[in-house]
Every structure is written in structure tokens, then in C-alpha cells.
Amino acid sequence: TFARSFSATAVRNKVNNVTVIGAGLMGSGIAQVSANAKLNVVLVDSNEGALKKAHSSIESSIKRVAKKLHADDAKAQEKLVAETIGKINTSTNVGDSVKNADLVIEAIVENIEIKRKLFAQVEEAARKDTLITTNTSSLRLEDIGKNLKDKTRFGGLHFFNPVPVMKLLEVVRHTETSDKTFNELVDYGKSVGKITVACKDTPGFIVNRLLVPYMFEALRLHERGDASMKDIDIAMKLGAGYPMGPFELGDYVGLDTCKFIMDGWHKQYPDEPAFSPSPLLNKLVDAGKTGRKSGEGFYKY
Ligand code: 3HC
């Protein structure tokens, strides 16, 4: 009991225990890079099936990383895979899994009500000094954290897909995020090997604010009949050095996600032309063609 009460009040220097809530694509990637940096990770999802799926996707991704790092050394590859997987525990219980966390990262569905409920549960069960963050790509931190009693320890950690490969982490502060919280989030980002940039709580932060309207501009160019999707993709890859063209990227990220982000912004800022919806995208999403994950989006897979 003494040890437990001592550790609960001790001053924390560094994030060691990370709880990631939501075992989808982003949550799995965040768990993986945290475990790879030797942090203790608990990956939480209400759905056992999602946790199983996350386990196998983390395993295949860490194998790719290991192959790259230790090209001619099968033993070293196996060791890295085993060590990383060994750092990740899974749970279906939010309360239990955040009790010992230094940092909680939420990566669940982009639904404000569900997120608010989750954060109430997290704040109730976590220590007073636990950093509480969201990986939201499109919602305002101000709205998500509205009911938190202590907003100074709340901020945003926005990762990019595929998390193990993309080097950037956007660290987002809203009006009440403390300097201490912000600095600790930056330190966490560095500890998992990311380059961090500082963002305010504005739509899309930096990357999505530029990238999503660019994708919709490509859609409009195509909808006007000015160029084919294939030619636009070729042009942006070979003429601007992007690794994927805007349509390939849309299929990769998920057309439902792109639509969701833009619809939210359009509702909030109806007069902003950069945020206007695309009929073609709406049609594809309505037909269940959401990109690579469904086998068809702009392209067939
Ligand atoms: N896990 C581990 N490693 C992976 C991986 C994964 N999931 N995916 C790719 N890699 C590694 C591969 O092992 C490979 O390593 P190597 O070069 O040493 O062999 C390297 O990454 C390149 O992979 P590939 O050869 O398979 O394919 P590409 O060269 O085409 O690269 C890509 C794939 C990295 C996805 C590249 O196409 C790219 O950067 N695309 C743009 C991605 C992007 O813009 N992401 C941001 C989207 S926006 C977002 O996420 C925000 C959200 O809020 C919506």
C-alpha cells in the first residue's frame, strides 16, 4: 500500500506508461511506436475482435520495421518483434487501464459525445497528474474537453498514417493547456522518434488544414472535367514530389474519413469555399466505396 500511495503522489519526470484507447489503425500505430521506444503500453478497446486485429497488424508492421533495421540479421529482427509486442498489454476496461498511466491517448471514433463520455471516465480513474490527450483529426479540443474538470493537462497529439513511418507529430494546445503539459507532450513525441510541431486548436491544425482542401480541390478539378484522376495523381507525384497523388491518398486515408472531416468544417464555416463538399465523394461514400479498406474508392483494389 505504501508503494502504491507513494507512486501515486510522486513527481513524474518522464512518460513511461502510455494507455492508448481505440485499437483501430491509428491507435495500433501509436501503441507500436510507443512500445518500440520501450514505453509500457496498454491498448484498450471495447471490442475484443479489434484488439486481436490490432495485435496482428502491429506484428506485421513491426516485422517490416525490423527487416529494415536489421536487414541481414534474422535473430535481431525476431528480438525486436518480441520485445515490442512484449511491451503491449491489451484491455477492454478503460478505468483499470488508465489508473497507472502517465499519458492517455484517445484514438476512438470521431464522435464528440462518445469522446466526452470517455474523457469523463478517464479523468475519474486516472491520477491527477496524468496527461490526457486526443488524436482527433477534425474536432475541436475545446469541444472534446468541455466537461473536463482540469483542462490544463489536456492537449492534442495528432499522428499521421502510417504511424510507424510518418515522422511528424502535431502537438496541439487549446487555450487552457499548460506549458508544462505542452512540454511533456513534446518530450513524449521526441521519445517515440517523432519531429514535433506546435499547433493551435484550429480546424485541421497544420497538415490537414492544407492537405484536405488540396484533395477537395483535386476533386473539383476532376469534377469540372479538366483532368482525369489518374493524370492528376501522376502530375502531383512527378511534378510536385508527393509520394501519392490526391486520389491515391484519399483511398489510403479512407473516403469516409475525408468526407467526415470536410462535412464538419463545412457545417462550422459554411461560407469558406475551401471547405465545400464534393458530390463525387458523397456518391462514392453513399455507395460504400470508402477506399482501399472496402476494395474500392476512387480506384479499384
Ligand atoms: N508499418 C511499417 N513500415 C511501413 C508501413 C507500415 N504500416 N508502411 C510502409 N512501411 C515502410 C516500408 O517497410 C518501406 O520501407 P523501405 O523503404 O525500407 O522498404 C517504406 O515504409 C515505404 O513503403 P512501401 O515501399 O511499401 O511504399 P511507398 O514507398 O509507396 O511508401 C507510404 C508508402 C509511406 C505510405 C508513402 O506512400 C507515403 O508517404 N504516402 C503519403 C502518406 C500520407 O500523406 N499520410 C498522411 C495522411 S493524412 C493523416 O494521416 C491525417 C489523418 O488525420 C487523416
Rounded CA separation 288/296 (Å): 8
Residues annotated in the binding site for NAD(+), as ranges? 22-27, 45, 110, 115, 137, 161, 293
Label residue 259 exposed, middle or buried (CB < 10 Å: 0-12, 13-18, 19+).
buried
What are the structural domains, with CATH classification, of the chain? Answer: 2-200 (3.40.50.720), 207-294 (1.10.1040.10)
Is residue 3's pLDDT more than 90?
no
pLDDT for residue 49 is more than 70? yes
- Of 104, 94, 135, 110, the closest CA to residue 39 belongs to 104
Q: Which of 208, 222, 248, 278 is catalytic?
A: 208
The CB of 249 under 6 Å from ligand 1? The reply is: yes
- ipTM rounded to 2 decimals: 0.95
Contact between residue 78 and residue 62 where contact means Cβ atoms under 8 Å apart: no
Cα dihedral 287, 213, 246, 170 sign: negative
pLDDT at 2: 44
Residues 114 and 108 sit within 8 Å (Cβ to Cβ): yes
> What one-character DSSP code corresponds to residue 287?
T
Tell me how far CA of residue 59 lies from CA of 31, 33, 63, in angstroms.
11, 12, 6
User: Could you tell me the distance, in angstroms and rounded to a whole number, from the CA of residue 162 to the centre of ligand 1?
Assistant: 5
Q: Residue 254 CA: which ligand 1 atom is closest?
A: 54
**Annotated binding-site residue numbers for CoA:** 61, 68, 137
136: closest CA among 242, 54, 30? 30
pLDDT tens-digit map of 15-43: 999 999 999 999 999 999 999 999 999 99
Mean pLDDT score of the chain: 94
From 97, 138, 158, 174, active-site residue: 158
3-class state of residue 176 by DSSP: coil
Whether the CB-CB separation of 163 and 29 falls below 8 Å is answered with yes
Q: Which atom of ligand 1 is nearest to the CA of 64?
A: 13
- Provide the pLDDT confidence category of residue 13 given band limits of 50, 70 and 90: low
Q: Taking each helix axis from N to C terminus, what angle separates 48-69 and 74-86, rounded to the nearest 10 degrees? A: 150
